Amino acid sequence: MPDVAKSEIRNPKSEIMKLWLSKNSEVPVREQLVAQITLGIASGELAVGARLPSTREIALRYQIHFNTVSNAYHILAGQGWLEFRPGSGFYVRELDAGRVDDPLDRLIAGFVRAARGQGYSTDEIGRRLARFLETAPTRRLCLVENDEALRKILVEEIRAATDLDVSGIGLADLPGQITSPGVKFAAMFDEKKKLGELLPDVENCLFLKTSSPAATMKGETRPRPNDLIAVVSGWENFLLLAKIMLVAAQIDPDCLVLRSTRVKSWNKGLRAASMIICDSLTAKKLARYPNVRVFRLISDDSLAELRRLG
């Protein structure tokens, strides 16, 4: 596994920890940390009362954001595996049934006991777990986009092109989703700076490129000079962008009809159009109309990346 960093972290005041972290894996680094530290505690490799290396020590060692490590430590503290001592750091907590009651934690502890009972070393269990986490596919995708109309279109495009279980949220709802296990995030490329400030593990977010006008128009038959072209969408910016692209392609603006599906009787007279251009979501409403052309907003390259997640 060439992309997996293996190392022992030694500190006079800290317990030795063996970690295998893959920054190229679809499993977030935060989740890799949580799983491996849990395994270390359950197996006894990290003794009760041992002080863990600081968040900055691990961050510097593995070239990851210290917020990622901090988030993992706080998750483990919330689950009862660690305790935080102000001014000192995080320590392995003595476990009892009243403190660790999460079903997944119990499964992990039971798995480690069973594996060691069959003769597997903690080192081997750690390597196998790291390999499993690295290769496990991500099938849950959360699309982050504040514009609700655009968000619905993007979610529909991804659902149509992949096997992923896709949901969409606004930025205000992001904090409640960050710790959801097994979730990969996606957003349009121009949101990278904004999300980088909100996500503790920005590597867990795939930033999507938009489809270029040339790619969108590729393969389409050019309308005749007097053909009526209808552009239909529930997202106002789609209407504007489509008009700009068509006029740039030397389509007479007088031949364009823009229709918002938010307006009553939006579909009146559409059958007179020789071509109807719409987004992926609106296409569902136009299934019975001839000559519908769907213009995707997400580039082919980004859709290919999303398919690889499944």
**Tens of pLDDT, residues 104-121:** 666 777 777 778 778 887
Higher pLDDT among residues 268 and 62, named by residue: 268
Give the torsion sign (CA, 16, 20, 24, 28): negative
Q: Output the pLDDT for position 208.
A: 92
**Tens of pLDDT, residues 273-294:** 999 999 999 999 998 998 899 9
User: Domain containing 243 — which CATH number?
Assistant: 3.40.50.10190
* 131, 30: one domain: yes
* 191, 235: one domain: no
Structure tokens at 10: 């030694």
* 177, 61: one domain: no
Q: Output the pLDDT for position 26.
A: 58
* 187, 66: one domain: no
Alpha carbons 146 and 144: distance in angstroms, whole number:
7
Q: Output the pLDDT for position 303.
A: 92
pLDDT-derived band of residue 66, with 50, 70 and 90 as boundaries?
Answer: confident
Alpha carbons 201 and 62: distance in angstroms, whole number:
13
* 146, 49: one domain: no
pLDDT at 230 over 90: yes
Give Cα separations from 251 to 31, 104, 223, 224, 269 (angstroms): 52, 59, 8, 9, 20
pLDDT at 73 over 80: yes
**Tens of pLDDT, residues 240-269:** 888 887 777 778 888 899 999 999 999 999
* 199, 229: one domain: no
Q: What domain count does the chain have?
A: 3
Of the chain, the percentage scoring pLDDT greater than 70 comes to 80
* 231, 268: one domain: yes
Domain holding 51, by residue range, is 4-135
pLDDT-derived band of residue 12, with 50, 70 and 90 as boundaries?
Answer: very low
CA 267 from centre of chain: 36
